Structure formats: structure tokens, C-alpha cells
Structure 1
């Protein structure tokens, strides 16, 4: 062990783990939704590498996992011994549909041959429904879900997840981003800002989080509530969001993957509100139905609405 690392473990890492009640833990795993990069990096700075685990019920819960010997930030690791992963990308892309094979894959849905044929092909590969990529060392990275892919009117297929994560990276004031544009001429985005949550009901409040307020002060904005910002009421914050969207668009892989219009919603997403599932996963179909009028307003001229 390097001398400086040993010193840091004794002075900082060890006491931090003990304060968190994790001093007896040997390894740390995340089996749910992939953790954001800033959370992984924060724990890693305390010498707590969180290993991502990937799997489905249809493959006995686990297919790939990270370990202390095989770890990559944002990757869910390598396949179990005797299991195999295949990514089927579209032309010219690294990202594609993930399929897995092994003795851990289930035999099928009981009494449901139709759905079984949809999930398992004739060679025994399980079609997971997820999108991802394999690097040169066979580390798997999850980048989205097949069901979430947006097909524009031009026929261009867009995976929204990387774009949404890119927007949140450029706009720390934003909590959720949902891209829309199915069968439309271009992409648009619904944005929610970071608001406080009622501790008993889980409902989002009008008041912004301390982090959001602090950022507003850095921008020379006096906003403390969501209503201070929605509807372009605060030109300083509106300009900040516009620049963030522009910066995210500058990293887009194509012109079709750029956000043309956006809107800040009047409430944050929550489990209580119905926009999020029990594991805080975004319910895209529910949100699209709840905000149908707002989405239609993006394309009123393009679709001929009056």
C-alpha cells in the first residue's frame, strides 16, 4: 500500500466509514437504478467504491457485477463465469440492445408461450430490453431502455437517457429532464427544478432546495421558490438554462439529437404525484399523458394545431 494512501486511510477514510456505520463492510454494491456519477465519485473519494450489479428477474437477478479486481466507474462490471453478453448495435453505433445467455437464464413464462418467444430467441439469448455497450475489456455499460427510444418523423431513432443526463450535468439546478418528440419533427424537453419535499407525504414543495437557492445566488438571482422562475419570471435563471441547453446541444452526436424547445414545469416529479415509480424511475408514458397540452404546444405550428 502506498504510504500516502495508508496515511489517508488512517486519518480520513477509516473515521469517515465509522461515522457512516460502514466500517465493517468489505464491499459495497448497488442493485437498483444506476447511481449518478457524482454520487459514485463522492463515495469513491472516501475509498468506498460502489460496485454496480446488473440483472433481471428472468436471469436469476444477477448477470454482471463489478468487483475490487474488476472495476470501472459507471460500468456494471463483467458477466458471471459461464454467462455471456451480446450487444447488437445499429449501423455505425456502439450502443445497442443487450442480450444475455447462460444457465441462469429462465426457461420461460409459465403458461405464456407468446411472451416467452418475445424474450428468448431460438438460440437461448434473453432479450433484456435494455440498451448499452461493451468496451474492449468486456465491461458492460447501461445507457437506456429500448422502450424509451424516441423515433422522430424523419425516422431517426434517439436514445433519450444520455441526452437527459448531459442536460442535468450542465444544469445542476435541474432535477429531472424528459425528452419528448415521438413522431415529431424535433426533440423538446420537460424540465423540473430541485424543490424541497414534504417529509410526511413525499410531495414536492414550492420552495427550492438549499442547493438550488445557493446556485441562484451565484447567478445573482433572488429566486427562492419555483414560482419565482416558472414562466420565464426570472430572466437570469432563464438565460442560465438556455445556455445549459445550448452547451448540451453542442455535444450532440447529430442535429436530430439536439433539443429545440424546452419548458420548466410548475412542479417537481415525485412518487406521490405519480410521475415516478417506487424506485424513483421516471414513468414516461404517465408524464406524457399528464403534460399532453404542454407537449402539443411545442409542436403546434409543426403539427398544424389551432
Structure 2
């Protein structure tokens, strides 16, 4: 940016490794293209180079081998210490080509992408960088505050044609749309609800492989005109492909976007597989992560009577190993080449992979029952729309408990949770006859927790004395969720509220917005212990 030039020029001497500063667009300062190390993109392209430099470039290229490490990606550390995953040039190129071959309707040279996830995440590398190169697409890099509230502005400007988002990103979009809808007139809300239902019905019919009736097609045509302005408002009207992954995506979230003519196709992958290994492209269902990409073999290790077991995969996209951790590498990749994912799932008769949990996150109660936490957490969130985060506790315990945080607004610059409740939380509370609009009023805690101060947050959590009507409503919601439990051991017995919403800024969420369970367990150990006294 032109406004940054004076600052860069002032500190350039203090940056010995900075070789050049290149500006893409004007206006240009007078010293650009005239002083060493300052270039405009146009003039840089026009430069000619000596034969020695060309030979040096060829020599460097010739020294690169396909099986050499090209990138280090650190695991998220949601259940343990992060590990450095070594990915070779061949891993990355193969995964890019494999994912690309699985996709449909690729318009080379016309695709548009928005990169907003940290590039330290393998999904951002594959979907934003490598697929962008493979499709000769335009990649727009969002600003650093994208996940704090500015992402829609970038979407409006870039108008992406393909999008990948972790579930939390789509949840944030949903929250903004729901809050905006709550301010509309009753008639407008009713019209939009019926239009969404008609669009979702049409999409569901197509997924089932059926042809919609003439009446159904006409109803969809009219309804799609009602929801189209919403897609335009969030900048996704040109987007033809929507992928989500990195964490479980609830059926409720998928249904919400289906009503906006946005079918969220789940994909599955790991840092250790160089990115995606399955893509739900030709969406025929909303429950699976799709079928294996080209060149990838999947199998279920030691399946139970329901066909469920650990997901194993093999192919050229399996990583080189963990840097400096040969014993961990041997645990993950066996001699026969199969990578043990640590994830639980099964493959349906059509070859679709269904993810059901994670082995390392699996809760084993004192009674010896294995319980995947995500399923129960999602049931509770479905019953309690005021709840933002749910964390199931119960490993080696006599019964299950949960930690809950309520939906609040956050600071758009820092990402730190604020005291003000979100509109959908306020609306839900009003239905209970509760009129508080701030978390501090609702839980009787200090309004300013000095976040990201862990000590103050824990102290406030231990002193919570919530409004009785709120506690009763939460308890009733958990009871409703417990009706879906397949055994008494899977029923939640107690809960505790947390003094603020989970966030990246306060450490409970990782860079891809997944809950860092080990961090939350350690931070709120006293709260957890109190649930078992």
C-alpha cells in the first residue's frame, strides 16, 4: 500500500533479510523503480536477467526432489502437544490434483477464491493456494480481522466461486443472518421462512435423486428469488461450491444454509494427508463427508457390529513423518503404509465416509462405556440456541457433565468476547421472561473480566449465581437432549456455566476454531472438580 512506503523505507536498513519491496498498484512514490530494492510490479516484469542468473535458477530447480520436504504444518494440538507434519512436494501436488479431479464444473482462469484461514493450516494451503494455482484462479487474501467480523466485506468484493470454511465460520454467518432477520417485520420473517422451506425441500428432492414436480419447480423458482438477495448481501451469489470441514458440521447448520440454496458439502482430511482425502461434491446426502478422492484408498480398522471403527487411509498424499518424532510417526503410519487417523467412522454401501468421532477425544467412563463427545454436544446445542460452546466431561468419571458458554458479541478488532449478549440470545431469554441484555447481569459476575486474563475468568466462573429461570431452562434443554441417549451412561447429569464465550483470543479455540479440549480441561479444572463433589 502506498501509505506504508515511508514506514518501510525508514526501517529497511534494520531488516538485513529484506531483499526487495514490490508494489502491485499505484500511485507510486518517486523513489520506486529508482532506488535499489524498491520495485513496481510492472517494471519488475519488464526487467531482463543475465544468463548466469537464469542458469542459477535452473540449477536450484534441478536440485529439488519430489520426495523432499516442502512444508511443515503443525497439528492443531486439540488433544495434545502440536507436532510438525512434514509434507513433501509430491504430497502437496498429488493432493491438489486428486482433489481437483474430484471436483466438477471447474472454469479454468475464471475461478475466484477468498483466503482467510491461517496459511499454517493445510486446508488453506490446498484450497486457497494450490487449487488457486491449479485452476488459474484469482485469490483474494482477507485482512487479519476476517474471522472477527470483516469476512463478509471481503466476500462482497471478491465474489468467490468456490469456498471452504470450517463449521464455525458458517455458524458466524448464520448468527449474523438470524440477528438481521430478527429485526425485520413479522410479515417479512414469515415470507423468508416459507421461502427457505421451499428451497430446502427442492434441494432435498434433488439429493434423493428424484425429479421435482412442475408445482415444486415453480415454487422453488419463486422462493429462490426471495433468498437470492441474502446471498448477494453476504457476497456468495457467484459461489457454486461450498466445502466445510476441520470439525463436525451439525445437521441444523446444513439445513439452514440449504434453505438459502447453499448446499454445504463436507470434506475430510488431516494435516498428515496433505489436505482433503474425501469430498462431498455430488451432494446426495447431508450426513457424509463424501467419497474418497482419486488415488486414495480407505478402510475401516477392526469394525464393530455396526461397521464402525478407526478410519485408515493409504496413498501418495500420506505425509513423510513428524519432524524429530520417529516413534510418533511409527504409531501413525504402519509398515504396510496405512495411516491410522485416530478418527472413528464407517463407510456406507455407496462408498460415502461418515465420521462419528475421534478416538483420542473418546470419553471412557468409570463404567467402561465409550462415548463420542461431539454427538452429545451437538444435541445440547440444538436444544439450547442460546449456547455457543458445549464441552462434555466424563473421562474416567462416574457420570457425564458439561461446561457451557452463552452467545455474546465479540470485539471486532481483538476477537475478545464482550459482555453484551447476541440478539438471538436476548430473544431466547425474552421467551423465558428474562430481560437482561448483558452476561454480567445474567450470571451476576463482573462486567469487565480483564480478558484474556485466565485468573479473572476462572474466579468469575466459580462465583456465578445465574438467574434461576435460566438455570431451569438449561436443565430442561439438557433433559430433552438426554432423550436421544442410547444408554443411561450417555445422559448428562450436571452442567456448569462459563463466564465468557470460548475464543481464539482467550485460548479455548485453535486457529481453525476447534475447541482445544486439553486447554479447557486445564483452565477450568476447579470448575470440573466441583461438578463431581
| TM-score (normalizing by structure 1) | 0.88
In structure 1, distance between residues paired with 2:385 and 2:514: 19
Deviation at residue 45 of structure 1 after TM alignment = 1.5
Deviation at residue 113 of structure 1 after TM alignment = 3.3
2:33 corresponds in structure 1 to none
Deviation at residue 220 of structure 1 after TM alignment = 1.4
- From 193, 200, 204, the counterpart of 2:417: 204
In structure 1, distance between residues paired with 2:397 and 2:389: 21
2:512 corresponds in structure 1 to 279
Summarize deviations over 1:58-116 as a string: whole Å, max 9, x none: 2231210011x343214211111342222336644554321112333235446643222
1:219 corresponds in structure 2 to 432
Q: Secondary structure in 2 aligned to 1:216?
A: helix
- From 16, 20, 25, the counterpart of 2:239: 25
Query: Which moves more between the two structures, 58-67 or 5-14?
Result: 5-14
Deviation at residue 174 of structure 1 after TM alignment = 0.8
Query: Which moves more between the two structures, 148-157 or 274-283?
Result: 148-157
CA contact (8 A) 1:75 1:139 kept: yes
In structure 2, distance between residues paired with 1:283 and 1:239: 28
Q: Secondary structure in 2 aligned to 1:55?
A: strand
Query: Which moves more between the two structures, 115-124 or 212-221?
Result: 115-124
1:189 corresponds in structure 2 to 402
In structure 1, distance between residues paired with 2:409 and 2:471: 20
- Residue 158 (1) aligns with residue 391 (2): no
CA contact (8 A) 1:223 1:234 kept: no
CA contact (8 A) 2:248 2:374 kept: no
Deviation at residue 17 of structure 1 after TM alignment = 4.0
Q: Secondary structure in 2 aligned to 1:97?
A: strand
- From 492, 496, 500, the counterpart of 1:263: 496
Find the structure with the greater CA-based Rg: 2
Deviation at residue 20 of structure 1 after TM alignment = 3.6
Query: Which moves more between the two structures, 158-167 or 141-150?
Result: 141-150
2:521 corresponds in structure 1 to 288
In structure 2, distance between residues paired with 1:185 and 1:178: 17
In 2 relative to 1, CA 246–63 (structure 1 residues): closer, same or farther, beyond 3 Å?
A: same
In 2 relative to 1, CA 5–20 (structure 1 residues): closer, same or farther, beyond 3 Å?
A: farther
- From 291, 294, 299, the counterpart of 1:86: 299
In 2 relative to 1, CA 94–258 (structure 1 residues): closer, same or farther, beyond 3 Å?
A: farther
CA contact (8 A) 1:158 1:257 kept: yes
Deviation at residue 190 of structure 1 after TM alignment = 0.7
In 2 relative to 1, CA 220–98 (structure 1 residues): closer, same or farther, beyond 3 Å?
A: same
CA contact (8 A) 2:419 2:438 kept: yes
In structure 2, distance between residues paired with 1:15 and 1:200: 28
- Matches of residues 1-306 of structure 1 in structure 2 within 5 Å? 3-4=217-218, 7-8=221-222, 11-12=225-226, 14-67=228-281, 69-88=282-301, 91-109=304-322, 112-230=325-443, 231-300=464-533
CA contact (8 A) 1:12 1:46 kept: no
CA contact (8 A) 2:224 2:261 kept: no
CA contact (8 A) 2:265 2:283 kept: no
Q: Please, what is the CA RMSD of the aligned residues?
A: 2.3
In 2 relative to 1, CA 15–223 (structure 1 residues): closer, same or farther, beyond 3 Å?
A: closer
The number of equivalent residue pairs is 299
1:303 corresponds in structure 2 to none
| TM-score (normalizing by structure 2) | 0.52
In structure 2, distance between residues paired with 1:64 and 1:33: 14
